[in-house]
Amino acid sequence: MPHVLRAHGVALLALLAAALGVLGGPANIRAAEFDLVEAHTTTEDHPYTLGMVRYAQLVRDRTGGRVAIQIHHSRQLGDERQVVEGLQLGTIHLTVTSTGPLGGFVPEMNVLDLPFLFRDASHAYKVLDGAIGRGLLDKFDVIGIKGLAFWENGFRHITTSKKAIERPGDLKGLKIRVMENRVHQAAFRQLGADATPMAWGEVFTSLQQGLLDGEENPIPIISTFKLYEVQKYLSLTGHVYSPAPVLMSKKSWDRLPSDLQKIVLETAVEVARVQRSMNRAQEQKQLGELRAQGMTVIENPDRAAFREAMKPVFEQFQGQFGKDLVQRIVNSK
C-alpha cells in the first residue's frame, strides 16, 4: 500500500529535517498530527476502498497534511462487527461498513434493512442525506461512535448454486447466508429459506464447500469477491437497499480540533456522491462480466411476489421501529 509507505517516508523525512535543524519546511515533509487507522472488509478494487482513497486524499489536502488516513481493506483488521467494536475501543478509528451488524449496536438502524423500503436509489439518497439519515447517524453518539455519512453498498440480489430463483417459493429449504441482522434473517425465513447469519469472511469458503446454497449481496461485492467461482445463478431481486455508513471512533473525533472535525465530516458527506457513482458504474460493468464468467442472470424475477411475501416482516418490524418513522421514509419524495 503506497500511502502507508509514503506515511513512513514522510515520518523519516520529518525526523531528518528536525535533526538537521530545518524548521518550518514545506508542509509535505511533516508527519501527520492525526493518524487515523481505517479498516473495512472489501477488496482493494471495491468502491468502499476507492471511495476511501478519494476521501483520504481530500482530507489530507484540505487539512494541509495534519490528518492522514491509513487504509486497511480486505478484512486485514477483522470482520465488520469486530471493526465497529474497535471503533468503540478506539483501536480502530474509521470504517465504512454495511448495515449488517449495526442493528446490534444501534437498534433503530435496522429500519434501513426493511425489505423493499426504498423505491429506488434516489429515494434512498433523499432519505439518507436528509434529516432522517442524520438522525440515525447521530444515534451512534451514545455508543462511542461519530456517524459521518452514508456511502453505498447497493441493492442486494440473490445468488445460488443449484437452482435459479425466479419467485419466492424457489427459496424453500435452501440454506442462504444472511448478514448478522435480525430483519434480514426474518425476511429470508419468511420466504421459507434456511436463513443462516454469518460474518462475511466465512461466506466464500462455506459456499465453496457446499455448506451454503446461496447468499445475497450487491453486484460489486459478488464480482470483486469472485462469487462466480462458487455460484451459478444471479437473480436481480433488489430486495433491499444497503447503505454503507462511514463511522468514526468518538475518541478520535473528540481529539480533533473543531476546524479539522468540520473538514472530516463535510468531506465524508461530499465523497458520498462520488462513491455512489463509482458503485453504480461498477454495477453496470460487472453484470456483463459475471455473465462472461458463466453466471446465469435472472433479470426479471417476480419482484412483486417477493415484496408481497416479505410484507409480514415489514409489518412486524414496523411496529418495533415506530410506524411513524417508517411512514416518513416511505412518504419521502
Binding residues for ligand EAX, rule: CB under 6 A, are 41-42, 98, 100, 153, 179, 200, 217, 221, 242
DSSP classification of residue 65: T
Q: Of 17, 14, 112, 113, whose CA–CA distance to 65 is shortest?
A: 14
**Of 183 and 221, which has the nearer Cβ to ligand EAX?**
221
DSSP classification of residue 31: P
Cβ of residue 242: shortest distance to ligand EAX, in angstroms?
A: 6
User: Which run of H or E residues covers position 238?
Assistant: strand 233-249
Cβ of residue 283: shortest distance to ligand EAX, in angstroms?
A: 14
Distance in angstroms (rounded) separating the CA atoms of residues 307 and 58: 40
Residues in the chain: 333
**Of 229 and 315, which has the nearer Cβ to ligand EAX?**
229
Cβ of residue 238: shortest distance to ligand EAX, in angstroms?
A: 14
**Of 235 and 242, which has the nearer Cβ to ligand EAX?**
242
Contact 317, 181 (CB under 8 A): no
Distance in angstroms (rounded) separating the CA atoms of residues 185 and 106: 17
Distance in angstroms (rounded) separating the CA atoms of residues 135 and 105: 15
Burial class (CB in 10 A: 0-12, 13-18, 19+), 131: exposed
**Of 98 and 160, which has the nearer Cβ to ligand EAX?**
98
Cβ of residue 15: shortest distance to ligand EAX, in angstroms?
A: 38
Cβ of residue 215: shortest distance to ligand EAX, in angstroms?
A: 7
Given the C-alpha cell 517516508, which residue does it identify?
Answer: 9
Cβ of residue 279: shortest distance to ligand EAX, in angstroms?
A: 11
| β partners of residue 71 | 38
Compute and round to an integer the Cα radius of gyration of the chain. Answer: 21
**Of 242 and 286, which has the nearer Cβ to ligand EAX?**
242
Contact 203, 117 (CB under 8 A): no
**Of 110 and 217, which has the nearer Cβ to ligand EAX?**
217
Report the chain's terminal Cα–Cα distance, integer Å.
42
Cβ of residue 116: shortest distance to ligand EAX, in angstroms?
A: 17
Beta strands in 33-183 (DSSP E): 34-39, 67-72, 94-96, 145-160, 175-178
Burial class (CB in 10 A: 0-12, 13-18, 19+), 227: buried
Cβ of residue 199: shortest distance to ligand EAX, in angstroms?
A: 7
Cβ of residue 221: shortest distance to ligand EAX, in angstroms?
A: 5
The amino acid at 214: G
**Of 64 and 78, which has the nearer Cβ to ligand EAX?**
78
**Of 42 and 49, which has the nearer Cβ to ligand EAX?**
42
| Nearest position to ligand EAX, beta carbon | 98
**Of 100 and 115, which has the nearer Cβ to ligand EAX?**
100
Distance in angstroms (rounded) separating the CA atoms of residues 66 and 85: 26
